[in-house]
A and B are shown apart, each in its own frame.
Chain A
């Protein structure tokens, strides 16, 4: 697969996936995205409206699991890969599923990736969070020895009112991973999560 066929969305996803996988060649992946490669999908939909033939390349790479497919092919990585779309909480779903797979012993670790692009102009009226091109990747495993770790819990009946301009949960999470504050509340329209950092 030539690089030239990949959209900016996919290049962004593959870039962080490759950085986070480090030396691991066979690593399971949970990919999540709220909207998928929407700039590409929107173009395809516009083409359909015009009743013009679809670009075979764009069509082939517009499915939700195309990113994991390309990541698998380019890295000859044959491990199991999931592609998840779960609305604003997509990255939480990817982590939950990843945790289940690690905890049950199916995998020793999971490479989590979340990627989203700024909504195309015609969909901006539906935006309920700040629009930012972003891709986040990290390795998820259970705590090893006395190493530092993060703990994520859903807050019930939270009284945190979400700001009207909140960042996507995936960006909030990445920021919290970097800051390593003891407690960070991640908040979206209908839910809130507590991320705690336990230093070693």
Chain B
């Protein structure tokens, strides 16, 4: 699970071109959007795409739950684990 979370953090950094930040700077339970890491809606689209590609999971753009899945690295890791094909 730690490996998956580090993989997600690395994907966040590389797909969003985050500058001057390493995986150690992202907490597992830290909010990714607005507060915390400060990502925005364009980042959400970009990250969704990267996660779909990397982990081969389906993400429903219109689902309320999707918002919850993208809340933190912890939430994303749970979501990927449950939906990996």
Do A52 and B46 form a contact, CB below 8 Å, given A3-B19, A4-B17, A4-B18?
A: no
Indicate if the CB atoms of A52 and B53 lie closer than 8 Å: yes
Closest to A1 in B: B42
> Main secondary structure on chain A at its contact with chain B?
helix
| Cβ contacts A50-80/B at 8 Å (1 or 0 each) | 0011011100100000000000000000000
Partner pick for B49 among A3, A4, A55, A60, CB 8 A cutoff: A55
User: Chain B nearest CB: distance from A121 CB in Å?
Assistant: 22
B52 at the interface (CB under 8 A from A): yes
> Main secondary structure on chain B at its contact with chain A?
helix
A145 to B45, CA, bound (A): 54
A163 to B52, CA, bound (A): 50
A5 at the interface (CB under 8 A from B): yes
How many chain A residues touch B (Cβ–Cβ < 8 Å)?
Answer: 9
A4 to B52, CA, bound (A): 22
Indicate if the CB atoms of A55 and B16 lie closer than 8 Å: no
> Measuring CB to CB, which residues of chain A are less than 8 angstroms from any residue of chain B?
3-5, 52-53, 55-57, 60
> Measuring CB to CB, which residues of chain B are less than 8 angstroms from any residue of chain A?
16-19, 42, 45-46, 49, 52-53
The 10 closest A-B pairs by CB, nearest first: A4-B17, A56-B45, A4-B19, A57-B46, A53-B49, A57-B42, A56-B46, A55-B46, A56-B42, A4-B18
